Amino acid sequence: MASSTSITVDVDGVTYTDDVEPRLLLVQYLRERLGKTGTLIGCDTTNCGACTVHLDGVSVKSCTMFAVQADGHQVTTIEGLAQNGKLAPLQEAFHQCHALQCGFCTPGMIMQSASLLKENPHPTETEIRDGLEGNLCRCTGYQNIVAAVKSVADGVEYDESGVSVSDDLVDDLAADGSERTGVS
Amino acid sequence: MIPSAFDYAAPTTVEEALGLLSAADEAGDEVKVLAGGQSLIPVMKLRLADPSLVIDLGRIPSLSGITDDGDFLTIGAMTTHHVMETDPLLATHLPLLQMAAGTVADPQVRHRGTFGGALVHADPAGDMLAPVLATGATFTVSGPNGQRSVDAADFFQGYFTTAVEDGEILTSIKVPKYTGWGAHYEKFTRVAQQWSIVAVAAMVRIQDGVIAEARLGLTNMASTPLRATATEAALAGCALTQEAIAAACAHAAEGTEPASDLNGDAEYRRHLVQVVAKRAVMKAAGLQPDGLKRTRE
């Protein structure tokens, strides 16, 4: 019978040491051991991206990693993004741009968007769509998700009352839209 | 979905990993070697693989990284697709591999998935196989009796089967530089993050206004990646026009044995590979095929 392994992982700024079975998936560890249910399990087959977290600052699908592989590493979940009770810019942007319908894909979308913007702070609309290709929204609400990410890349700031997406941004997206017409 | 229980070992050197493999072989354990895990873990979750021991190579630093060795780049087997996609050495000397790495799955998978893992997994629809074959790379395999080298032409042996034997580990891939060659990886899929239905890896050396030399690898046209040798021969001396390149690429299906599946039957793939080869060669040569708009670059 397989033995347990001791792991030490930093999750959202707190260090945890636990005995885990090697077959325990990282997403199960986060949800079932640590109670971090903000990270969701969508497809459980590496397709949908709902379980996306950051491992040492880059996005990974936590349904496709064992918890033992995270031993000695740093994990950030959606629950670690807000600082001192203030939403991160991407979280505020998703809120203000109405970038969610049912909300199930949202934690993964935000974590992948954060990773994308870290690697490419000023993506075009096409680059945002390519960057989010591993995240599925079954409500098909992609347009506002892309708008939210673009607004953060463009430096739109949201005050406490929130601001709507500016007319300029809508115009930008309409203009960018012309480059993503069909494949022959 | 939860995999069957297994024991886990995370060696920190190749020697330690090989020792674990030998010991497991003597004990009769079924072993799987874990690289990035982006194919192995899904397969274990489906319980199509049921190892009693998993040996994780993720804690062996010497297996990662890209080094310049004169006429070659040496790429560590545990180098991630993301590193391949963004590495400046690769961009200068092997843009074909850089471009192909950027088409693998999605960004999260590219952060974890590895070059060597993809090659040893040897899925015929995998995107790194045909480009590596086209480069004529040499694979360095380590085992109980030391290291041996395997030519790319001998490495891929069938569906999910390579020259890496039980007890051995692929440690690095030595790839000749193709500095200054035009390169393109053209992948045909219907939706994002899909496996290639057909893809073509093309490199061309242009001299005196014609294609002097071409190297082409085909993805998902047989149980292994293939070189399109008839097309390569027809492209030698080929003019830089769509008509001439299309005529040469009409040979692209010769010698292929594609599978039939829900994405297309064999006949469809034999037609498609000619079209995709034409696009790949034209783009490698810096030409834009007529009537083609793309959503992805």
Asked if the structure places residue B118 within a domain, the reply is yes
Q: Looking at residues A62-81, what average pLDDT do you find? A: 98
Contact of A76 with A114, CB cutoff 8 Å: no
User: In a 3-state reduction of DSSP, which class is residue A50?
Assistant: coil
How close A51 gets to chain B, by Cα (Å)?
Answer: 11
B74 plus B168 within the same structural domain = yes
- C-alpha–C-alpha distance, residues B118 and B12, integer Å: 21
B164 plus B201 within the same structural domain = no
Contact of B192 with B228, CB cutoff 8 Å: no
| DSSP H or E stretch at residue A106 | helix A106-119
Question: pLDDT tens for residues A112-158?
Answer: 999 999 999 999 999 999 999 999 999 999 999 999 999 999 998 77
How close B113 gets to chain A, by Cα (Å)?
Answer: 10
Using a CB-CB cut-off of 8 Å, the residues of chain B touching A133 are: 106-107, 192-193
How close A178 gets to chain B, by Cα (Å)?
Answer: 11
Residue A2: band (very low, low, confident or very high) from pLDDT cuts 50, 70, 90? low
Would you call B290 an interface residue with chain A, using a CB distance cutoff of 8 Å?
Answer: no
CATH class, domain A89-177, is: mainly alpha
Using a CB-CB cut-off of 8 Å, the residues of chain A touching B42 are: 45-46, 64
Question: pLDDT tens for residues B115-147?
Answer: 999 999 999 999 999 999 999 999 999 999 999
B110: CB partners within 8 A, 6+ apart: B80, B81, B82, B85, B101, B102, B104
Using a CB-CB cut-off of 8 Å, the residues of chain A touching B292 are: 184
> Which among B106, B290, B292 is the top mutation candidate for probing chain A, defined by the most A β-carbons within 10 Å of its own β-carbon?
B106
Asked if the structure places residue B296 within a domain, the reply is no
Would you call B247 an interface residue with chain A, using a CB distance cutoff of 8 Å?
Answer: no
Burial class of residue B142 (count of CB atoms within 10 Å of its CB; 0-12, 13-18, 19+): buried
Can you say how many angstroms the Cα of residue A69 is from the centroid of all Cα atoms in its chain? 20
Segments in chain B below pLDDT 70: 291-297
**What pLDDT is stored for residue B32 in this prediction?**
97
Would you call B54 an interface residue with chain A, using a CB distance cutoff of 8 Å?
Answer: yes
B246 plus B189 within the same structural domain = yes
Closest partner residue to B193 (CB to CB) among A23, A44, A133 is A133
B66 plus B143 within the same structural domain = yes
State the greatest distance between any 2 C-alpha atoms of chain A, in Å, as a whole number.
Answer: 62
Q: What sign does the dihedral B160-B68-A119-A16 (CA atoms) show? A: positive
Residue A168 has pLDDT above 70, yes or no: no
B56 with A69: Cβ contact below 8 A: yes
Ranges for all domains in chain A classified under CATH 3.10.20.30: 5-80
Chain A residue at shortest CA distance from B54: A22
Tell me, yes or no, if the pTM score tops 0.90.
Answer: yes
- C-alpha–C-alpha distance, residues B107 and A112, integer Å: 8
How close A183 gets to chain B, by Cα (Å)?
Answer: 5
CATH of the domain at B18: 3.30.43.10
First to last CA, chain A: 55
Chain B residue at shortest CA distance from A70: B58
- C-alpha–C-alpha distance, residues A54 and A107, integer Å: 12
- Residue B71's domain comprises 61-176
Ranges for all domains in chain A classified under CATH 1.10.150.120: 89-177
Asked if the structure places residue B204 within a domain, the reply is yes
How close B35 gets to chain A, by Cα (Å)?
Answer: 11
How close A131 gets to chain B, by Cα (Å)?
Answer: 7
- The token duo for A146 is 């892309």
B69 plus B97 within the same structural domain = yes
**What pLDDT is stored for residue A173 in this prediction?**
56
Closest partner residue to B5 (CB to CB) among A2, A133, A134 is A2
Would you call B148 an interface residue with chain A, using a CB distance cutoff of 8 Å?
Answer: no
Q: Looking at residues A151-176, what average pLDDT do you find? A: 65
Closest CA to B99 of B136, B46, B45, B135: B135
Q: Is beta strand B226-227 parallel, antiparallel or unpaired with respect to B210-219?
A: antiparallel
B295 with A1: Cβ contact below 8 A: no
Just give the CATH number of A5-80.
3.10.20.30
B203 plus B257 within the same structural domain = yes
Closest partner residue to B38 (CB to CB) among A25, A64, A126 is A64
- C-alpha–C-alpha distance, residues A58 and B207, integer Å: 42
B91 plus B138 within the same structural domain = yes
What's the domain count of chain B? 3
Asked if the structure places residue B292 within a domain, the reply is no
Using a CB-CB cut-off of 8 Å, the residues of chain A touching B111 are: 55, 58-60, 115
Provide Rg for chain A, Cα atoms: 18
Prediction ipTM score: 0.94
